[in-house]
Amino acid sequence: MCGIVGYTAKQAVEKRILDSLELLEYRGYDSAGLALFDTDTEQVEVRKCAGRVSDLRDLCGREAVHGLCGIGHTRWATHGGVSDENAHPHRVGCVTLVHNGIIENFEEIKDHYGLGQYLFSQTDTEVVAALINSFYNGHPRETIRRAVRCLKGTFALVIMFDDHPDVIYAVRNVSPIVAAYIPSGTMLASDVAALGGQADRYIVVPEYTIVELHKSAILLYDEADRRIEPEYYDIDWDTTRDGKGNYPFYMEKEIMEQPDTIRRTLAGRIKDGHISLEKDGVPDQLLADCQRICVVACGTAMHVGQLGSELVRKILHMHMDVEYASEFMYMDPVIDEKTLVLAISQSGETIDTLEALKYARRLGARSIGIINVRGSSIARESDYVMYTDAGPEIAVASTKAYTNQLAAFYALIGRMAVVRGIFDREQEREYAENLLQVPDKIQLVLNRRAEIHKIARSLLEAKDAFMIGRGMDYSILLEGALKLKEVSYIHTEAYASGELKHGTIALITQETPVIAAVTQDDLRDKELSNIREVQSRGASVTLLLREDIAADGIDCDYIFQLPQMPSLFMGFPASAALQLLAYYVSSDRGLDVDKPRNLAKVVTVE
């Protein structure tokens, strides 16, 4: 989850490294650091500190370094707490390095090679620096290869040797590294975003290949030390960020962008009442032939599957497995060549999703990725990719990516219904029209954000909250609860309303506000009984109610009426309302909405 960057050039590199670290900060913001071969002192100088990249910038302002070659890092702590010492880069002897990933056997390596005396931090990374230093024989590639053979785990290592001051070395297993020529030199980084829009093509460094970054050349060497020609990928999407605009936080901006971005995601997939995946290259035969569908994803992306499974049952009359990617490999999943695996991911880099996808493919499954970040690892690993057009999502809490993933998922299931002969022409047209209505319906919710802000104020003092609903509403609330807890730190649980009385209702008191949802007319009366049950225990209740469902006889503290859509589509407007609720609670509590504690945007460790 850490962000890494390396840059060697004919001009000073420190500013570009700091700028790139800022672009990578969404990967981790516990601490930051850089190392440069300093042109004044003629040695490698390290500057690092706990805190944000802005703190590192201040430090570099106070203790200036100037160089033409350097590496940088933003950290998300795994081994060792958040401290200056544990920040990267780590320097042992003539070796300075940064690392993304986890070295599982670092204790064994430390003991086996007697490296304890060289270590000042609690990190696995410093052990690797000490190992490489102890093996160093003047030949960087040979030394790196020998060290890497000792490592168990995932890693992207970016290394400088004192006696090769103009060259940066890197090697990886699983954790990504991309490299590119930019006008002033060459760069490598954990992802394309860090290139700051300066390159129009990039290389994905293959696993266990050593990359050497020279000022005017990027050289790749395979495990037998043979030079290999890189494969280039075009950067034909916008990697730049246009800032927060007039919004105080990216999260609010991204919530507000949903109508436009969903329109873009649907464009080209829905036209003249037809649903088509031609632009994605997904063959109809694949959709017609598959006998099972399985979603692998994490967090919010997994909730797309959760809600989507209701759609699959109701439209395709099929069962769809939805699995936490992190559990997938350990559960002996039932997968074969007739299984269609859907890997859903905003970043396209979530390691659990990537590994689950690889595992499913090894078992013979065909796969489609629903991915936001072009050219990402999961996109490259999938047989077919449906890209969402959410644009860069910077806030750690996912909002527009979620609804865009849902939109792409709905298009996919719509197309499956057509090719499997479930939809006739009229049903296809009606489904497509409903989907095209989604952006406008979400806009109606966004227009009434002041009402949601008012509801949010009633939650500011809560320590715990519950969200209750039935059927699709329960799936919608799973995501709503995740959103609220991660940005507001209010412990929130989504519960299937009928299940509450089998234990959890013991927790309901006047201290536990409840948010209920009724968007499915057939579930209204049953849900109202559940609302009364929690009210009888003193809970205040906010109700999200589809506007055409009768409100008479409902006595709640707040009722927010959701714009009407057919039941199957209500996840879209309801989710927008829940996102705003979470956002306002967090911002009114004075929290760092875009960077909640302990979280990182891209989760590249298992």
- Considering the complex, what minimum distance in angstroms separates the CB of residue 408 from ligand F6R? 13
The tokens for 353 are 């999703």
Binder to ligand F6R among 398, 492, 542, 579 (CB under 6 A)?
398
State which residue, 350 or 497, has the beta carbon closest to ligand F6R.
Answer: 350
Applying CB under 6 A, the span of 40-48, 129-137, 292-300, 534-542 interacting with ligand F6R comes to 292-300
Helices (H), 382-448: 400-419, 425-447
Instruction: Locate 506 and state its tokens.
Output: 């013991």
- Supply the minimum distance, in Å, between the C-beta of residue 306 and ligand F6R: 12
Question: Which helix or strand (DSSP H or E) is residue 526 part of?
Answer: helix 524-536
Which residue, 7 or 76, is less far from ligand F6R as judged by CB?
76
Toward ligand F6R, which CB reaches closer, 480 or 573? 480
Binding residue (CB under 6 A) for ligand F6R from 20, 186, 350, 575: 350
Residues 457-486 that bind ligand F6R (CB under 6 A): 482, 486
Please identify which residue in 345, 377, 475, 520 interacts with ligand F6R, judged by CB under 6 A: 345
What are the tokens at 284? 């109809």
Q: Which is nearer to ligand F6R, 14 or 594 (CB)?
A: 594
CB of 211 to ligand F6R, least distance (A): 25
299 in contact with ligand F6R (CB under 6 A): yes
Place of tokens 């670290």: 21
355 part of the interface to ligand F6R, by CB under 6 A: no
Q: Tell me the window of 227-235, 248-256, 344-352, 413-421 that interacts with ligand F6R (CB under 6 A).
A: 344-352
CA-to-CA distance for 5 and 70, rounded, in angstroms?
A: 8
Instruction: Give the CA distances from residue 364 to residues 70, 177, 281, 488, in Å, rounded to whole numbers and listed in that order.
Output: 43, 28, 20, 42
Q: Which one, 322 or 505, has the nearer CB to ligand F6R? A: 322
CA distance linking residue 512 with residue 585, whole number of Å: 15
Give the bridge partners for 344, in sequence order: 370
- Cα separations (Å) of 584 from 135, 227, 488, 491? 54, 54, 9, 16
**Residue 604 in contact with ligand F6R, rule: CB under 6 A:** no
Q: What is the distance of C-alpha 35 from the center of its chain?
A: 28
CB of 348 to ligand F6R, least distance (A): 7
Among 34, 169, 603, 604, binds ligand F6R (CB under 6 A): 603
* Sheet of 366-371, strand order: 320-324, 292-297, 339-345, 366-371, 384-387
Neighbours of 183 (CB within 10 A): 8
Return the number of the residue (395 or 568) whose C-beta is nearest ligand F6R: 395
Q: Which is nearer to ligand F6R, 265 or 350 (CB)?
A: 350
**CB 490 to ligand F6R: min, Å:** 15
| Closer to ligand F6R by Cβ: residue 145 or 400 | 400
Residue 112 neighbours by CB distance under 10 Å? 11
φ, ψ dihedrals at 174, nearest 5°: 70, -65
Q: How far is the CB of 372 from ligand F6R (least distance, A)?
A: 7
Considering only residues 501 to 530 of the shown chain, the ones binding ligand F6R according to CB under 6 A are none
User: Which listed range, 185-193, 228-236, 345-353, 549-557, lies at the site for ligand F6R (CB under 6 A)?
Assistant: 345-353
Which residues have CB under 8 Å from 172's CB, separation 6+? 155, 156, 157, 205, 207, 208
Residue 447 CB, shortest distance to ligand F6R, in Å, is: 24
Our finding on whether 397 is near ligand F6R (CB under 6 A) is yes
Q: What are phi and psi of 576, to 5 degrees?
A: -60, -40
Q: In which order are the strands placed within the sheet that holds 218-221?
A: 90-92, 95-103, 153-161, 168-173, 210-213, 218-221, 227-228
Among 190, 265, 353, 575, which residue interacts with ligand F6R (rule: CB under 6 A)?
353
Q: Which residues are tagged catalytic? A: 2, 601
Under the binding rule (CB under 6 A), the answer on residue 301 touching ligand F6R is yes
Q: Does 382 bind ligand F6R (CB under 6 A)?
A: no
How far is the C-alpha of 537 from the C-alpha of 539, rounded, in Å?
Answer: 6
Cβ closest to ligand F6R, residue 186 vs residue 345: 345
Nearer to ligand F6R, 26 or 37 (CB): 26
Angle formed by the axes of helices 400-419 and 258-266, nearest 10°: 30
Residue with the two structure tokens 């099972």? 292
* Cβ-contact 136, 145 below 8 angstroms: no
Spatial distance between the Cα atoms of 39 and 29, rounded to a whole number of angstroms:
29
How far apart are the C-alpha atoms of 243 and 241, rounded to whole Å? 6
Q: Which is nearer to ligand F6R, 102 or 397 (CB)?
A: 397
Distance CA 572, CA 406 (A): 8
Point out which span in 16-24, 138-146, 299-307, 553-561 binds ligand F6R (CB under 6 A). 299-307
SS3 string of 436-458? HHHHHHHHHHHHCHHHHHHHHHC
Taking CB under 6 A as the criterion, the residue among 258, 276, 346, 367 binding ligand F6R is 346
Lookup result for tokens 């960020």: 241
CB atoms within 10 A of CB 117: 6
Q: Which of 347, 492, 540, 575 touches ligand F6R by CB under 6 A?
A: 347
Coil/strand/helix, residue 243: coil
Q: What separation in angstroms does the CA of 490 have from each of 160, 298, 457, 464, 578?
A: 44, 21, 13, 5, 14
Number of other CB atoms surrounding residue 489 within 10 Å? 16
Which of 53, 205, 298, 418 lies at the binding interface for ligand F6R (CB under 6 A)? 298
Contact positions vs ligand F6R (CB under 6 A): 298-301, 345-347, 350, 353, 397-398, 482, 486, 603
